[in-house]
């Protein structure tokens, strides 16, 4: 009846990259797992902060005036409205935390926009 | 200027147990680190869900009709209003995620209530 959510198990269930999948909800916030490799697009989320937690690999988030490296066992909060571009030189496993309804490309849209609210 | 938040570093900065410390905010939510060992008190949070992520050790959450074990690399969402009692047989390192202002003892109060909104 009561089951924990195991991150490694969730990551074992899919191989595709840049397609966040919901694993849990806390009030109106969602926890998502995603695999990434390579460069994403510049975007921002004008209405919300966004949390990145790295489990494997290494995530670089580029800002217009700097960058941050986030490694396993680390997190980072991208403030609302701040333009950013994720990058990973190796396949990287992340947990994203943000309100339900937030798109991966923010308000930029485009071909990199993933289907939202897919549970795994 | 841009620095990740390293969980192991944050846990290295204190030894006391049952005293959650804030390490980050996402909108009106807080990320807290806490070390626990032994039994806590029964309580609930009528206004919010509460997320537990285990980094070291093992957390058991007792419910009135069952229990869940949460190990490193796992998370659990305790739904709002559900009575629960955390327990750890060894010192256990957790991340808690909940709205700003939530007390560790919920509406129960008592001597186990920690000072809220302490940053580390």
A76 at interface of B, judged by CB pairs closer than 8 A: yes
Whether residue B112 lies inside any domain: the answer is no
Partner-chain contact A51 B27, CB within 8 Å: no
Tokens at A40, concatenated: 């994403």
| Structural domain includes residue B29 | yes
Check if A119 contacts B (Cβ < 8 Å).
no
Whether residue A90 is contained in a domain is answered as yes
Q: A46 CA to chain B: closest CA distance, Å?
A: 12
Which of B26, B56, B73, B102 to mutate to test binding with chain A, by most A CBs within 10 Å of its CB? B26
Domain annotation covers residue A95: yes
Residue B29 touches partner A, C-beta closer than 8 Å:
yes
Q: How confident is the model at residue B3 (pLDDT cuts 50, 70, 90)?
A: very high
The pLDDT tens digits for B51-82 are: 999 999 999 999 999 999 999 999 999 999 99
Q: Do B26 and A51 touch (CB under 8 A)?
A: yes
Q: Nearest-CA distance from A54 to chain B in Å? A: 10
Q: Which residues contact A62 (CB under 8 A, 6 or more apart)?
A: A84, A85, A86, A87
Q: How far is CA A117 from CA A22, A103, A104, in A?
A: 6, 9, 11
Domain count, chain A: 1
Would residue B1 count as lying in a domain? Answer: no
Rounded Cα distance between A110 and B43, Å, is 46
A23 falls within a domain? yes
Q: B4 in contact with A at a CB cutoff of 8 Å?
A: yes
Is A44 domain-assigned?
A: yes
What is the pLDDT, as a whole number, of residue B32? 98
The reply to whether A108 falls in a domain is: no
How far A68 CA lies from chain B's nearest CA (Å)? Answer: 5
Summarised one tens digit per residue, pLDDT across range A35-85 is: 999 999 999 999 999 999 999 999 999 999 999 999 999 999 999 999 999
Pair A8, A56: CB distance under 8 Å: no
Show the domain range for A11.
7-99
Tell me what ipTM this predicted complex has.
Answer: 0.96
Q: How far is CA A8 from CA A14, A21, A95, B6, B87, in A?
A: 11, 13, 11, 20, 24
Q: Is B63 buried (19+), middle (13-18) or exposed (0-12) by CB count in 10 A? A: middle
* Residue of A64, A75, A87, A119 to mutate, interface with B, max B Cβ within 10 Å: A75
How much is the pLDDT for B1?
Answer: 76
Q: What is the CATH number of the domain that holds A73?
A: 2.60.120.10
């Amino acid at each position: 009846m009561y089951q924990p959510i195991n991150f490694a198990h969730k990551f074992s269930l899919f191989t595709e990259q840049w397609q966040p999948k919901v694993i849990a909800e806390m009030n109106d916030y969602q926890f998502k797992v995603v695999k990434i490799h390579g460069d994403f697009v510049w975007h921002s989320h004008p209405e919300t902060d966004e949390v990145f937690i790295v489990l494997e690999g290494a995530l670089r988030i580029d800002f217009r005036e700097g960058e941050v490296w986030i490694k396993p066992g680390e997190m980072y909060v991208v403030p609302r409205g701040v333009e950013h571009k994720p990058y990973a030189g190796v396949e990287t496993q992340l947990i994203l935390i943000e309100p339900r309804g937030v798109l991966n490309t923010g308000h930029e849209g485009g071909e990199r926009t993933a289907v939202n609210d897919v549970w795994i």
